[in-house]
């Protein structure tokens, strides 16, 4: 060890050059490999701040179809950046193979190294290893698919007009969160297959317009058939259901819906693993750069600058601070990852009691296992330790609309640990965060109206934009749309209609 | 293992399309903001581009989300003194319960405004769109006093340092092709004959015939090669010409009636007219000074703020303003150094006995010194004596003096156009 300790630092100044970036990448890559990080090949792209804003605006992707909402995002980012209200993120990293990471030219070499460690080895290995990304996304196909989507949509714009396409996309975006399959998963397709399939689908739909709307009278119309709902089981993927069943849509419109749905599906794992993903990447940039420091490859000045930005990234303002805007996923993730390492390396009695299976185990293996097999919700449920709850001084507030006051439900003490952990885990359950809305029924034999059901969680009603969203559903579906809020006891307590109906009419 | 790519030179404006889409979608909002800006901003500052503010709720993209109510447990960090079971009032302003979906979203339906800037060009687009004008046409004004050298194609004569090598070689090449054409044609013919002969079995052709053909080809080839590679005739030179540029200094007088009869609407129209004129001049001159003269029964030189926004009442004596304008020109703006423009806006009201004095002042003291005097009358009523008096002036000075009538805002640009039509055509 002492032999390597005397090595010469890679750089001493703050300016970066391509050679230096290469050197750092090589060293960080070497160290990462020693820690067993398994990554896609990296494609590191140096860009300007303007290009970074471009990337921001198209949801971080290197290319995307055109839509005004991306323009809005861009204009907003630009304005905030120019006024110095926000800095740009140091990096954007794309879950693709090779894994694309952007470095901004304005940054110092320290920051570039930090980003390389964070994105190219942290996030990259997470993308490659985590089960959600493995099952839900296809890193090798995404760029091709986006290219296909961009071209397809611009063709549609030429053929059917920008306004027409824009309206359709607006409606799809409104339902984007409901365009994912949460449970089942189709086999991934390559872009070429995707194109072929698209042609085939178009043709098929042209020829056999859905059975659902078949006007040829059925042979038997029994009383029983009248009661059968369509779909038989509620469908969680609204966009999918609309794509396959909306009576009036043109083939190209179905394809556009499909594109939005696919992209939503691609981003779904990122939403579910925010804490883990950022925690993992932050933990590894911290660990990797410290390793370089231990080997004498970086200077003290480098470490000072790195630690400064590291600690501002993981700063968690307390709940009463004006800067508080929820729990910082970087803080929580980083601390949990470090905490797991601590439990493995220096377990206390408490840890042995709470985590008998990992206390004292090999930390690299344990972390790797955690990274691969969990999402935020289960990760927190499994690994949040009492010690960390004490350190972050977590507490739970119960806000019950039926009571006049807020109540402190649990704090970081013996009584509260389990409850805190459950609640925090539930907080990261997407199923709780977004209202659970599913397709309940289509009036197949009558006015073709679509009934959605909102299965209420903890008695929370829908927000005030519900009617607006329903207009979008109505645009896609083409016939009346009904949305019912249902309590766990199966009582309908609120119904929304689009187009609006007399509220007194009870549901059939 | 890693590829490092420099993308900095790649297309920067990837978001331009999206931005355009956004602007297109919110055209109405932006137009409104631009109109407000025209109203609020100072003249010399109007062209800067600007900030556009749209209420956030107008541009939000709705999604299904949870509303307030129900049971909700949230975890917060940084506990100080709470213990389990503590109860307290809900904080005002919704800071507690519903907030905290991870990071604050910038797409929530908060009531704050969405502000962004548009560029100068876009600003002008929106501003003139109202007037049905996509772009201001840039044209020369006459009375240019200085010159600048510009490229103007190529010439066959010139000094060696202006030699254009590519053009010269191109001309030489063309000449060689043209002059050698007949010879080459013949060479090709002869070659064909030669090949025909060579194709025949050896016994049947005389070697002399073939040798003669070969000699002939060689001779012609030599002749073609004798054409000079480059000739004096081929040389091309960059041609530079001197173009007049307008004098870089101009002064614009804004003269406006602020008597009781001038309503805010009329003043607004006048202001827009002044702005247009200012923009037009600014495109031709590097430096422009503005002089604001307002008048009712007395004239006064004021600053811009006072010019547009102070409220005055009283009668109207137009000659007072013209008198003052003439005085200011004499005192500060010598016609030798300055391009002088005067724009006068009024509702046409004047004290009856005064109009003759006005035309007198114009003809004797002002029109000889100014580049251009534009009078706009903003009124929906019938013309009064000032208009008729000015018509005489127009007949006497058709080049320097012009007058137009505006009834509402939509006419500003066409009228502006008319006012400058003759002049720009004359110069072009």
What beta strand segments (E) does A315-366 contain?
none
Q: Between A186 and A191, where is the model more confident?
A: A191
Percent of chain A with pLDDT over 90: 48
pLDDT at B95: 43
- State yes or no: pLDDT of B353 exceeds 50: yes
The answer on pLDDT for B417 being more than 60 is: yes
Q: Is the per-residue pLDDT at B94 higher than 50? A: no
Contact B326, B365 (CB under 8 A): yes
Question: What are the C-alpha distances in Å from A346 to residues A205, A343, A358, A432?
Answer: 62, 6, 11, 36
pLDDT, tens digit (0-9, with 9 covering 90-100), for A254-277: 999 999 999 998 888 988 999 999
Q: Which residues contact A6 (CB under 8 A, 6 or more apart)?
A: A296
Residues from chain A contacting residue B52 (CB–CB below 8 Å): none
d(CA B315, CA B198): 110
Sheet of B401-406, strands arranged across: B299-302, B287-295, B249-257, B339-346, B372-378, B401-406
Phi-psi region of A296 (alpha: psi -120 to 50; beta: other; left: phi over 0): left
Closest by Cα among A45, A42, A147 to A97: A42
Rounded Cα gap, residues B277 and B371, in angstroms = 13
Q: What is the pLDDT of residues B224-233, one digit of tens each?
A: 778 888 888 8
A254, A206 in Cβ contact below 8 A?
no
Q: How far apart are CA A46 and CA B299, in angstroms?
A: 63
Contacts of A464 in chain B (CB under 8 A): 67, 109
Higher-scoring residue by pLDDT: B142, A81: A81
Rounded to the nearest angstrom, the minimum Cα separation between A54 and chain B is: 5
Query: Token digits for A233?
Result: 């089981």
Q: Would you say residue B104 has pLDDT above 70?
A: no
Q: What percent of chain B has pLDDT over 70?
A: 78
Locate the chain A residue with the closest alpha carbon to B18.
A71
- Joined tokens for residue B349: 């009201």
**Taking residues A199-204, what's their average pLDDT?**
75
Closest CA to A469 of A457, A490, A452, A456: A452
Interface test with A, best of B2, B87, B95 (most A CBs within 10 A): B2
Sequence ranges of the domains in chain B? 15-59+110-130, 160-238, 247-427
Residues of chain A positioned with their CB less than 8 A from the CB of B80: 318, 320, 393
Query: Over 80: is that where the pLDDT of B88 sits?
Result: yes
A160-189 mean pLDDT:
83
Nearest to B408 by CA among B262, B260, B259, B270: B270
What does the pLDDT read at residue A122? 93
For residue A459, give the nearest of B5, B24, B69 by CB distance.
B69
Question: What pLDDT was estimated at residue A89?
Answer: 64
Q: Which residues pair with A42 in a beta bridge?
A: A99, B2
pLDDT at B107 over 60: no
Boundaries of every domain in chain A: 2-130, 314-431, 435-498
**DSSP state for residue B110 in the 8-state scheme:** -
Mean pLDDT, chain B, rounded, equals: 76
Question: Are residues A73 and A173 in contact, defined by beta-carbon separation less than 8 angstroms?
Answer: no
Q: Give me the mean pLDDT over the A154-179 stretch.
A: 92
Q: Please, how many CA atoms are within 13 Å of residue B308, restricted to the half-sphere of its CB?
A: 17
Mean pLDDT of all residues in A215-244: 72
Of the candidates B18, B63, B96, the beta carbon closest to that of A57 is on B18
Distances from the Cα of A368 to the Cα of A32, A243, A284, A362, B145, angstroms: 13, 39, 12, 10, 79
Q: For chains A and B, what is the number of CB pairs under 8 angstroms?
A: 276
B81 contacts in A (CB within 8 Å)?
none
More confident residue, A507 or B318: B318
CB neighbourhood size of B206 (10 A): 9
Measured at the CA of B158, the angle between CA B157 and CA B162, to 5 degrees, comes to 130
Q: What are phi and psi of B253, to 5 degrees?
A: -95, 125
- Interface check for B111 against chain A (CB to CB < 8 A): the answer is no
- Average pLDDT of the residues in B202-214: 76
Decide if pLDDT at A285 tops 50.
Answer: yes
Q: What pLDDT is stored for residue A128 in this prediction?
A: 93
Q: Is the CB of A401 less than 8 angstroms away from the CB of B86?
A: no
CA dihedral A137, A264, A96, A429 (to 10 degrees): -70
Looking at chain B from residue 3 to 42, which residues have their Cβ under 8 Å from any Cβ of chain A?
3-8, 10, 12-15, 17-25
Tokens representing B379? 């009124």
pLDDT digits (tens, 9 = 90+) for A25-56: 999 999 999 999 999 999 999 988 888 888 87
% of chain A with per-residue pLDDT over 70: 90
The shortest CB-CB distance from A79 to any of B24, B68, B117 is to: B117
Answer yes or no: are the C-beta atoms of B273 and B376 closer than 8 Å.
Answer: yes
pLDDT for position A365? 94
Tell me how far apart the alpha carbons of residues B408 and B103 are, in angstroms, rounded to a whole number.
50
pLDDT band at B424 (very low <50, low <70, confident <90, very high): very low
Structure tokens at B339: 């391009």
Residue B425 confidence (pLDDT)? 40
Verify whether the Cβ–Cβ distance A406 to B89 is below 8 Å. yes
The 10s digit of each residue's pLDDT in B110-132 is 446 777 777 777 776 666 554 43
Phi, psi of B406 (to 5 degrees): -120, 135
Report the alpha-carbon distance of residue B403 to residue B393 in Å, rounded. Answer: 10
pLDDT at A401: 85
Q: pLDDT tier at B40 (50, 70, 90 boundaries)?
A: low
- Per the CB < 8 A criterion, the answer to whether A9 and A297 are in contact is yes
User: What are the pLDDT digits (tens) for B360-398?
Assistant: 888 888 888 887 888 888 888 888 888 888 888 888 888
In the predicted model, what is the mean pLDDT of residues A373-396? 93
What are the residues facing B348 on neighbouring strands? Answer: none
A91-94: strand order across its sheet:
A91-94, A99-104, A42-47, B2-6
Residues of chain A by 3-state class (helix, strand, coil), percent to 5 = 55, 10, 35
B203 interfaces chain A, CB cutoff of 8 Å: no
Closest CA to A269 of A93, A130, A436: A130
Instruction: Give first-to-last CA distance, chain B, whole Å.
Output: 64
Given this model, what pLDDT does residue B309 score?
Answer: 76
Comparing A354-368, A440-454, A488-502, the range with the smallest average pLDDT is A488-502
pLDDT tens column, B266-299? 887 888 788 777 776 666 666 778 898 888 888 8
pLDDT at B135: 27
Average pLDDT over residues A80-96: 74
From the list B24, B7, B107, the residue with the least C-alpha distance to A66 is B24
For all residues of chain A together, what is the average pLDDT? 86
User: Are the Cβ atoms of A394 and B77 closer than 8 angstroms?
Assistant: yes
Predicted confidence band of residue B25 (pLDDT cuts 50, 70, 90): confident
**What are the residues whose beta carbons fall under 8 Å from the beta carbon of A505, sequence distance 6 or more?**
none
The total of other beta-carbon atoms located within 10 Å of residue A379's CB is 25
Question: What's the CA gap between B381 and B171, in Å, rounded?
Answer: 68
φ/ψ bin of A84: left (φ > 0), alpha (ψ from -120 to 50), beta (otherwise): left
Q: Which residues, in sequence order, are bridge partners of residue B74?
A: A397
**ipTM of the complex, rounded to two decimals:** 0.81
- Return the closest-CA partner of residue A388 out of B88, B75, B219: B75
Structure confidence at residue A294 (pLDDT): 93
Lowest-pLDDT range, A313-317, A319-323, A436-440, B90-94? B90-94
CB contact under 8 A, A408 and B60: no
DSSP character at residue A434: S
Chain A hits for B61, CB-CB cut-off 8 Å, are 69, 170, 173-174
CATH ID of B247-427, from 1.10.357.10, 2.40.50.100, 3.30.980.10, 3.40.50.410? 3.40.50.410
């Amino acid at each position: 060890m002492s032999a390597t300790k005397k090595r010469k630092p890679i750089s001493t100044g703050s300016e970066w050059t391509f050679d230096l970036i290469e050197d750092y990448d090589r060293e960080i890559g070497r160290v990462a490999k020693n820690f067993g990080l398994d990554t896609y090949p990296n494609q590191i792209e140096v860009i300007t701040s303007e290009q970074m804003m471009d990337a921001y605006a198209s949801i971080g992707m290197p290319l995307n179809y055109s839509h005004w909402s991306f323009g809005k995002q861009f204009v907003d980012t630009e304005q905030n950046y120019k006024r110095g209200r926000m800095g740009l993120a140091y990096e954007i990293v794309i879950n693709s193979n090779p894994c694309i990471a952007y470095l901004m030219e304005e940054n110092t070499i320290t920051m570039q190294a930090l980003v390389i460690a964070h994105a190219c080895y942290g996030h990259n290995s997470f993308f490659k290893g985590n089960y959600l990304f493995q099952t839900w996304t296809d890193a090798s196909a995404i760029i091709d698919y986006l290219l296909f989507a961009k071209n397809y949509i611009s063709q549609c714009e030429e053929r059917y007009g920008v306004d027409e396409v824009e309206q359709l996309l607006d409606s799809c975006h409104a339902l984007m969160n409901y365009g994912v399959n949460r449970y089942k998963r189709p086999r991934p397709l390559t872009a070429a297959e995707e194109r072929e399939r698209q042609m085939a689908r178009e043709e098929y739909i042209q020829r056999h317009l859905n059975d659902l709307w078949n006007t040829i009278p059925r042979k038997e119309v029994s009383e029983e058939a009248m009661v059968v709902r369509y779909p038989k089981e509620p469908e969680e993927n609204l966009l999918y259901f609309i794509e396959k069943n909306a009576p009036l849509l043109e083939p190209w419109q179905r394809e556009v819906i499909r594109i939005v749905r696919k992209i939503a599906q691609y981003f779904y794992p990122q939403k579910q693993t925010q804490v883990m993903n950022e925690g993992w990447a932050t933990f590894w940039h911290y660990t990797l750069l410290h390793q370089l420091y231990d080997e004498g490859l970086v200077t003290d000045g480098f470490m000072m600058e790195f630690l400064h930005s590291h600690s501002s990234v993981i700063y968690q303002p307390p709940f009463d601070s004006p800067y508080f805007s929820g729990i910082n996923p970087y803080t929580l993730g980083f601390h949990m990852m470090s905490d797991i390492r601590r439990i493995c390396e220096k377990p206390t009695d408490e840890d042995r009691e709470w985590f008998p299976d990992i206390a004292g185990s090999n930390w690299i293996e344990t972390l790797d296992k955690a990274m691969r097999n969990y999402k935020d919700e289960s990760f927190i449920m499994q690994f949040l330790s009492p010690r960390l709850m004490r350190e972050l001084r977590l507490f739970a507030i119960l806000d019950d609309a039926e009571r006049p006051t807020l109540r402190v439900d649990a704090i970081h003490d013996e009584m509260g640990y389990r409850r805190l952990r459950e609640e925090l885990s539930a907080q990261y359950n997407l199923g709780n965060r977004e209202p659970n809305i599913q397709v309940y029924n289509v009036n197949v034999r009558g006015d073709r109206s679509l009934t959605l059901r909102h299965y209420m969680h903890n008695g929370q009603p829908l927000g005030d934009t519900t009617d607006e969203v329903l207009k979008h559903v109505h645009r896609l579906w083409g016939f009346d749309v009904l949305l019912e809020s249902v309590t766990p006891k199966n009582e309908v307590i609120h119904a929304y209609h689009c187009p609006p109906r007399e509220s007194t009419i009870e549901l059939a | 293992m890693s590829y490092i790519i420099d993308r900095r030179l790649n297309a920067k404006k990837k978001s331009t399309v999206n931005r355009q889409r956004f602007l297109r979608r919110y055209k109405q909002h932006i137009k409104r903001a631009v109109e407000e800006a025209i109203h609020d901003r100072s003249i010399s500052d109007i062209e800067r581009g600007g900030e556009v503010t749209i209420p956030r709720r107008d541009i939000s993209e709705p999604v299904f989300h949870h509303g307030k109510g129900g049971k909700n447990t949230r975890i917060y960090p940084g506990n100080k003194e709470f213990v389990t079971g503590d109860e307290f009032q809900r904080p005002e302003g919704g800071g507690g319960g519903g907030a905290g979906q991870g990071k604050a979203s910038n797409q929530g339906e908060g009531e704050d405004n969405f502000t962004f800037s548009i560029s100068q060009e876009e600003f002008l687009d929106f501003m003139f769109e109202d007037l049905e004008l996509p772009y201001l046409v840039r044209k020369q004004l006459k009375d240019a006093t200085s010159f600048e050298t510009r490229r103007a194609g190529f010439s066959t004569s010139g000094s060696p340092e202006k030699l254009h090598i590519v053009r010269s070689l191109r001309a030489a090449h063309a000449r060689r092709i043209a002059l050698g054409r007949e010879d080459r044609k013949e060479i090709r013919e002869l070659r064909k004959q030669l090949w025909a002969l060579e194709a025949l079995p050896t016994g049947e052709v005389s070697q002399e015939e073939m040798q003669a053909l070969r000699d002939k080809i060689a001779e012609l080839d030599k002749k073609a090669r004798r054409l000079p590679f480059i000739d004096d005739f081929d040389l091309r030179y960059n041609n530079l010409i001197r173009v007049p540029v307008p004098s870089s200094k101009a002064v614009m007088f804004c003269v406006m009636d602020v008597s009781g009869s001038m309503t805010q609407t009329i003043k607004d129209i006048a202001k827009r007219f002044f702005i247009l004129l200012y923009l037009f001049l600014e495109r031709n001159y590097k430096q422009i000074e503005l002089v604001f003269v307002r008048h009712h029964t007395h004239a006064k030189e004021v600053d811009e703020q006072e010019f547009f926004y102070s409220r005055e009442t009283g009668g109207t004596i137009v000659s007072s303003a013209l008198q003052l304008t003439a005085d200011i020109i004499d005192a500060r703006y010598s016609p030798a150094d300055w391009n002088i423009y005067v724009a006068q806006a009024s509702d046409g009201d004047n004290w009856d006995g005064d109009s003759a004095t006005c035309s007198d002042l114009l003809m004797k003291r002002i029109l000889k010194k100014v580049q251009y005097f534009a009078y706009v009358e903003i009124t929906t009523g019938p013309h009064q004596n000032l208009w008729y008096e000015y018509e005489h002036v127009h007949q006497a000075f058709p080049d320097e003096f012009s007058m137009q009538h505006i009834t509402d805002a939509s006419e500003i640009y066409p009228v502006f156009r008319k006012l400058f039509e003759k002049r720009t055509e004359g110069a072009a």
